[in-house]
Copies of this chain bind each other. A is one copy, B any other.
């Protein structure tokens, strides 16, 4: 019985759901992201563990190599758990792994998790939406697949939404993103929250504005993985 279980585990060992823990127990082999909190692996004790994480801007395992590894494990008749930090439905490339598994005739199950934007705003005692100031929220990635961040999104539309904006893995491109948003009309005084290495011992939290984000990132040498929330939401 070939099966792929994609599990979003949240960012720390307290953020995994009961479903995530239960499904992990059924697996034969666990393929986990490089950035996954090591405490989460305690729930996979006794399983075969393989780190497959990608590191932005560095040479590392490519998505197609991960897909091939999933296929190899499935062909050996294993129940494969693919353990991801955060949620498995946002910027997790789950679809490509699902397609690889379905090519092998495998069953696929997805376990959703807590996404890092929710973790950051919870830590900040804020929200991602506020019916008085942001009647919705947009999630984008600061690390686009190809080309320049300026060409990846419709900045005029994003700036004109009146919603809060979450950027995943966006430290490097944040200054350029924020310039675009201000260029298309967002106030430089709009609040920004930044969470670096959330739920790890190196976690740092910052508050600044669209106008001061560059100096905040440079002055504090903030690095990815980081999550950025732009908007007056608490």
Chain A residues at the B interface, C-beta cutoff of 8 Å: 8, 10, 13-19, 21-22, 87-95, 98, 108-115, 117-119, 121-123, 125-132, 135-141, 144-145, 152-154, 156-158, 160-163, 233-234
A87 to B127, CA, bound (A): 10
- Known A111-B122, A118-B89, A118-B112; judge A95-B136 contact (CB<8 A): no
- Known A114-B114, A122-B111, A125-B110; judge A234-B98 contact (CB<8 A): yes
Chain B residues with CB under 8 Å of A15's CB are 17-19, 112
Is A138 touching B137 in the complex (CB atoms < 8 A)?
A: yes
Chain B residues with CB under 8 Å of A121's CB are 89, 110, 112
Is A118 touching B125 in the complex (CB atoms < 8 A)?
A: no
Q: How many copies does the complex hold?
A: 2
Is B125 touching A98 in the complex (CB atoms < 8 A)?
A: yes
Is B138 touching A163 in the complex (CB atoms < 8 A)?
A: yes
A201 to B125, CA, bound (A): 33
Nearest Cβ on chain B to A44's Cβ, whole angstroms: 15
The chain B residue with its CB closest to the CB of A123 is B110
Is B114 touching A87 in the complex (CB atoms < 8 A)?
A: yes
A136 to B141, CA, bound (A): 7
Is B17 touching A94 in the complex (CB atoms < 8 A)?
A: no
Nearest Cβ on chain B to A74's Cβ, whole angstroms: 15
